[in-house]
Structure formats: structure tokens, C-alpha cells
Amino acid sequence: MFEQPLLQVKNVTKKYGAGCQKCAALHSEVMIKNYCPVCRTVYACRDVSFDLYSGEILGIVGESGSGKSTLMQCLYFDLETSSGEVYMESSEWQGENLFYLSAKQKRSIRNSKFGMVYQNPIHGLKMEYSAISNIGEKLIAAGNRNVKEMESIGNTLFREVEIPLFRSKEKPLHFSGGMQQRVQIAKALSNNPPILFLDEITTGLDLSVQANVLDVIKNIQVEYGVSMIVVSHDLAVIRMLADRTLVMLDGQVIEKGLTDQILEDPQHHFTQQLVYSLI
């Protein structure tokens, strides 16, 4: 691929604690998984680097606690990153490390360039607002003031994610889990962002509902050409969606490549376990 990556992520680290000389080296011997018993620092994610290309779906797979959500939250500016860089192509911030931008600039990027779908819809939706108001809220945050237009965008998106329009004035609180996730997806898409973060969005849903949400994601990717980072502990989900995949363990990336290659010829013993458990 010769094109420039849309998003370049370099050496992102999020640690809880100050760190010490014993755990300063990346593959330090004292570490117990992501934890330094000497200074009690947790490296929730450590030295993570990757590129995201335009229109691709990048998968991130790893067991619970491997740092996937932390990484997503750092990239979406929910969390303050300890160190690292992130660059976005073709934006007014091109060439600038986005982590160094002001809170206001970060808010603007969240509202216009990024969409986030959380594992728990409580984090992505206002449960007491109607479904359509949730879309409105995001559009207003991005500067839209035209009610008719917002309603029309909302209805188009609901059609896309298969929310019956007659339910658009209801609160997501009263929706099923799968429907709540579909409203979250619609909300994340409402400003037509080039980049979507999806964190374990089908975890906890029934298999048939899972399949439906994944179908919605695939259709959206084709139709909107949006780049996505899809996080899951479940390799089956990643296999269904992702062109390329990173495997995380204890906060670090232990393997990366084309999803097909990783499935056919996993290198790290942890990845091998993941792959064999699929069969």
C-alpha cells in the first residue's frame, strides 16, 4: 500500500503509577503480566503502534484485561495518554500529535472526525432521551442547528441500522440490547466521521442478534467507506470483519498482520490458542 495512513498511532502507553527503573524496559523481567510488583504500576497499554488506512477495518483481539478498551479510550480522548503520538492525515491537524491538542480541539475532533461505540450502551447513549434526540445531541455538538435536517439525517441512519422509524421517539432505555447498540452505531455515524471505534459491541448479545449487528457494521463499511477499528476478545467477530488484525496481550501488541494470515499461521503461542479455540 502506497497511500498515507489515515491514522498513525505511535508508541501509545497508558500506565497507572509512576513506573520505576525495574519496569522501565519494555520486556522487563519483573513484570507480572501488565503489573510491576516493585512500584505497583499497571501498564494498561504499552508502546502500541499501528497504522489505519482509509476504508479498512482493523481488528484488535486479545483476552480480557489486555488493554483494548484503554487503547480505544486513549485514541478517543476519553483517557489522558501517558505517552505516545497519534497523527491524522488530511485534516487541519495534519502533522500534529493529536494528544497535544487543547481540550477544545480534541472535542472538535471527537465531534467531527471520530465516532465511538462502547461495549456498554450506557456510555454512548443518553438513556433518558429519545433515540432520535441522541442523534440530535451529537449533531448539535458538531454545530448543526437545523431541526428538519437533523431529523432527516436521524431517520436515514435509523433505516441504515434497522431501527423501525415508529420507535425513534422512544427512549433507548426501553430497547433490547441489540437495538441499543444499533442506536449507538447510528449516533456514532451521525456526523459522517471518517473513523469509527467499535469496542466489544456484540459482547453479551445473543448469537443471532450478534450476527445482525455485525451485518449492519459490514453494510455500513461498504456504503460509507468509513475506516473502523474493531475491538473484541472474540476472534470469530474479528474474522468476520477485519482485513488486518493486531493481537494484544498484557497491554502490548504481540502479533499483527492480515487477518487471514494470522488465522492460517499464528506465530505467538497465545494467538495459536485463540485460533485453535475457533475450530
Given ligand ADP, Mg ion, none, residue 66, with its beta carbon under 5 to 8 Å by kind, binds ligand ADP
Q: Which of 65, 120, 129, 257 binds ligand ADP (CB under 6 A)?
A: 65
CB < 8 Å & 24+ apart, contacts of 33-38: 33/65, 33/250, 34/65, 34/67, 34/250, 34/251
By the rule CB under 6 A, 44 interacts with ligand ADP? yes
Q: Is 190 in the site for Mg ion (CB under 5 A)?
A: no
Q: Does 39 bind ligand ADP (CB under 6 A)?
A: no
221 binds ligand ADP (CB under 6 A): no
219 in the Ramachandran plot: left (φ > 0), alpha (ψ -120 to 50) or beta?
alpha
Q: Should residue 180 be labelled a site residue for ligand ADP when binding is judged by CB under 6 A?
A: no
**Binding of residue 101 to ligand ADP (CB under 6 A):** no
* Rounded Cα–Cα distance for residues 29 and 106 (Å): 37
- Which entry of ligand ADP, Mg ion, none binds 67, CB below 5 to 8 A by partner kind? ligand ADP
Q: Does 82 interact with ligand ADP (rule: CB under 6 A)? A: no
Beta-bridge mates of residue 9: 50, 86
Start-to-end CA span in the chain (Å): 32
Report the site for ligand ADP in 150-179 (rule: CB under 6 A). Answer: none
Q: In the structure grid, which three cell numbers stand for residue 224, read together? A: 460509507
Residue 90 in contact with ligand ADP, rule: CB under 6 A: no
